[in-house]
């Protein structure tokens, strides 16, 4: 099928590549001609395992093209996906100006029946507004349907999430576009193709992300109870997770959720609810617990080091989670800003995010590996649970440090092993082990 994606950011690019991989004929559009030039030259501006190879393969096979001309894109696609950013505004509400702008541009160029699919994360009722906008600017030149089809892509495993989806949600205002959308997704073999009204589909996205964030905050709140009662959070969530109604996913306690989605989507959902007349206190508490998780971690650091001023502190992991180079709203970055504000000197290392973190961080010594980051440190903070850190030579790491104190914000290491190696080891929601 001929498909166009307008907006060649993370979601647009991954979706376009996966559709092409399944044999569809794809055009990716972006009004940033520099980005299009980069993509045309074969460079991929984001790190996502497997994406570069997939893009190259499909470009070579003639199934994937890039253009900065929306007109060319609209001409190509029977189905046009809108995959533009929906950034947060100061008050938490969503900036829909890119969405509106694209709807207007598409409307002007549409000549034949077109299905316009909104894949960006948007407040409930946005699809209705998009349809109104297209009607207004198209002047009845072409018939169309607007559909909501939210993405549930996790950075770092977006290809896997798209190629083997748990469910495909399609929200419609009429049944007319459904057969073509079924055909589009047929090669993905997903057993759950859910058709709803357009407002429900839009809500499914915000409701899902908020629920996942709620699970994380629940685990972080439990971690505090575990620490004060001498229980172990990992055992507690493992025990809970075997109940199929609860599930084990997204119950890992730590220093809180970050990234470009959860913080923004939860704030947006609270705002959407407020505009609809509901005070979503439950989600406000989720945000509160998330902020507390970082505070609690900082408190542990102060308990150990007393004063942070002029201490050298190493930070392992800068990305908001492993397998990505994305540092947007990364707890690690907030952590660094906070300890710098108290006068600490920071050394840091991340397997993928050094370049992006380097743009944001000031006065941080960026190191070539974890051992260099640990060198001369009074404490080492683990902020992102990269696999690479699991394989570290811990004795060597210890020998680099002035004082072998590790605060593990992701419970990556085994407390008993760390203590027996001579580390002072503090983690999240686990009892303190003292050397025998
Ligand atoms: C999320 C959703 O998972 C995805 O479906 C949606 O489309 C976009 O938002 P993403 O932001 O890529 O994806 O990251 P995710 O894997 O969900 O992790 C978000 C944050 O939660 C990370 O900071 C991660 O470290 C944290 N997290 C996750 C925890 O602290 N504990 C957990 O148990 C799981």
Q: Is the pLDDT of residue 175 over 90?
A: yes
**216 CA distance to ligand 1 middle (Å):** 9
Q: State residue 94 phi and psi, 5-degree precision.
A: -95, 135
Q: Is the pLDDT of residue 37 over 70?
A: yes
Reduced to 3 states (helix: H, G, I; strand: E, B; else coil), residue 188 is: helix
CB 428 within 8 A of CB 255: yes
Asked if residue 254 has its Cβ within 6 Å of ligand 1, the reply is: yes
**Residue whose CA is closest, atom 25 of ligand 1?**
321
pLDDT at 119 (0 to 100): 95
Q: What is the average pLDDT value for the chain, to the nearest integer? A: 96
Asked if residue 209 has its Cβ within 6 Å of ligand 1, the reply is: yes
316 C-beta neighbours (distance < 10 Å), count: 31
Q: Which residues contact 379 (CB under 8 A, 6 or more apart)?
A: 301, 304, 305, 311, 313, 314, 403, 405, 406, 407
**Residue whose CA is closest, atom 3 of ligand 1?**
154
For 66-85, the pLDDT digits (tens) are 999 999 999 999 999 999 99
pLDDT at 139 (0 to 100): 87
Q: What is the CB-side half-sphere exposure of residue 49 using CA atoms within 13 A?
A: 10
Cα–Cα distance for residue pair 337/343, rounded to 1 Å: 10
Asked if residue 258 has its Cβ within 6 Å of ligand 1, the reply is: yes
Radius of gyration of the chain (CA): 24
pLDDT at 435 (0 to 100): 63
**Residue whose CA is closest, atom 7 of ligand 1?**
152
Q: How many residues does the chain have?
A: 436
Rounded mean pLDDT, 249-268? 96
Closest CA to 235 of 248, 246, 245: 248
Cα–Cα distance for residue pair 239/416, rounded to 1 Å: 20
How far, in whole angstroms, is CA 227 from its chain's centroid? 28
| Band of pLDDT at residue 190, cut at 50, 70 and 90 | confident
Strands, E assignment, 249-344: 312-316
Dmax over CA atoms of the chain, in Å, equals 80
Asked if residue 155 has its Cβ within 6 Å of ligand 1, the reply is: yes
| Band of pLDDT at residue 191, cut at 50, 70 and 90 | confident
Rounded mean pLDDT, 168-184? 97
**20 CA distance to ligand 1 middle (Å):** 26
Rounded mean pLDDT, 313-334? 96
For 197-217, the pLDDT digits (tens) are 999 999 999 999 999 999 999
For 301-311, the pLDDT digits (tens) are 999 999 999 99
**383 CA distance to ligand 1 middle (Å):** 14
Asked if residue 262 has its Cβ within 6 Å of ligand 1, the reply is: yes
pLDDT at 46 (0 to 100): 86
Q: Is the pLDDT of residue 140 over 90?
A: no
pLDDT at 436 (0 to 100): 61
**Residue whose CA is closest, atom 34 of ligand 1?**
250
**Sheet order of strands, 193-197 included:** 64-67, 25-29, 2-6, 79-82, 114-118, 144-148, 168-172, 193-197
Asked if residue 218 has its Cβ within 6 Å of ligand 1, the reply is: no
**211 CA distance to ligand 1 middle (Å):** 11
Asked if residue 216 has its Cβ within 6 Å of ligand 1, the reply is: yes
**395 CA distance to ligand 1 middle (Å):** 32
SS3 readout for 403-434: CCEEEECCCCCCHHHHHHCCCEEECCCCCCCC
**155 CA distance to ligand 1 middle (Å):** 8
State what percent of residues in the chain have pLDDT above 90: 94
Give the number of the atom of ligand 1 that is nearest the alpha carbon of residue 208. 5
CB 57 within 8 A of CB 71: no
Asked if residue 287 has its Cβ within 6 Å of ligand 1, the reply is: no
Q: Is the pLDDT of residue 47 over 90?
A: no
pLDDT at 141 (0 to 100): 87
Query: Which amino acids are annotated catalytic?
Result: 261
Handedness of CA 384, 329, 257, 7 (dihedral sign): negative
């Amino acid at each position: 099928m001929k498909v166009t994606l307008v907006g060649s950011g993370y979601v647009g690019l991954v979706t376009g590549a996966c559709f092409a991989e399944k044999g569809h004929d794809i055009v990716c559009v972006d009004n940033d001609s520099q980005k299009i030039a980069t993509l045309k030259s074969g460079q991929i501006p984001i790190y996502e395992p497997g994406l570069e190879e997939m893009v190259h393969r499909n470009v070579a096979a003639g199934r994937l093209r890039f253009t900065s001309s929306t007109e060319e894109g609209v001409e190509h696609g029977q189905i046009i996906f809108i995959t533009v950013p929906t950034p947060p505004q100061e008050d938490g509400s969503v900036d829909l100006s890119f969405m509106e702008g694209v709807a207007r541009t598409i409307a002007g160029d549409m000549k034949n029946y077109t299905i316009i699919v909104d894949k960006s994360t948007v407040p409930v009722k946005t699809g209705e507004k998009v349809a109104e906008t297209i009607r207004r600017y198209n002047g009845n030149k072409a018939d169309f349907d607007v559909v909501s089809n939210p993405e549930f892509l996790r950075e770092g495993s977006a290809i896997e999430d798209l190629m083997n989806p748990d469910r495909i949600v399609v929200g419609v205002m009429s049944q007319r576009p459904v057969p073509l959308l079924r055909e589009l997704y047929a090669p993905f073999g997903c057993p759950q193709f859910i058709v709803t009204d357009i407002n429900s589909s839009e809500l499914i996205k915000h409701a899902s992300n908020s629920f996942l964030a709620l699970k994380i905050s629940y685990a972080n709140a439990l971690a505090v109870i575990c620490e004060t009662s001498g229980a172990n959070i990992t055992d507690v969530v493992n025990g809970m997770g075997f109940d199929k109604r609860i599930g084990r996913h997204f119950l890992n306690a730590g220093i809180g959720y970050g990234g470009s989605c959860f913080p923004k989507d939860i704030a947006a959902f609270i705002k959407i609810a407020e505009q609809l007349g509901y005070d979503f206190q439950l989600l406000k508490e989720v945000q509160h617990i998330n902020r507390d998780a970082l505070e609690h971690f900082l408190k542990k650091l102060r308990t150990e080091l007393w004063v942070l001023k002029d201490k050298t502190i190493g930070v392992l992991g800068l990305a908001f989670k492993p397998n990505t180079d994305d540092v947007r709203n990364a707890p690690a970055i907030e952590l660094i800003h906070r300890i710098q504000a108290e006068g600490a000197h920071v050394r840091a290392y991340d397997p993928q995010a050094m370049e992006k973190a380097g743009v944001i961080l000031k006065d941080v010594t960026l190191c070539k590996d974890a051992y260099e980051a640990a060198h001369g440190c009074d404490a080492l903070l683990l902020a992102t649970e990269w696999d690479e850190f699991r394989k570290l030579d811990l004795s060597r790491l210890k020998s680099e440090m002035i004082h072998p104190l590790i605060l593990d914000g992701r419970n990556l290491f085994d407390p008993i092993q760390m203590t027996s190696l001579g580390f002072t080891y503090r983690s999240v929601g686990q009892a303190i082990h003292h050397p025998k």
